[in-house]
């Protein structure tokens, strides 16, 4: 992977982390029940993908 692709991978990872933080904040403050669980799972998955992209951009 060339340095330019690593840069874009890190930018996508940063964006996904911000999106994950927004989703989990929204889910915990504004929703209840199954919607809260679904949004929390989506936030977890996006955070996991961001972590993988962050690791890829470091290596």
Q: What is the pLDDT of residues 1-44, one digit of tens each?
A: 899 999 999 999 999 999 999 999 999 999 999 999 999 999 99
End-to-end alpha carbon distance in the chain: 9
Query: What's the pLDDT at 1?
Result: 85
Q: What is the pTM of this model?
A: 0.87
Which residue stretches of 1-59 are H helix?
3-30, 33-58
Q: What is the pLDDT of residue 44?
A: 97
């Amino acid at each position: 992977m060339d340095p330019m692709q690593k840069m874009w991978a890190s930018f996508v990872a940063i964006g996904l982390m911000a999106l994950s933080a927004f989703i989990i904040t929204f889910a915990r403050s504004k929703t209840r029940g199954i919607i809260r669980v679904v949004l929390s799972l989506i936030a977890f998955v996006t955070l996991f993908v961001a972590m993988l992209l962050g690791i890829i951009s470091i290596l």
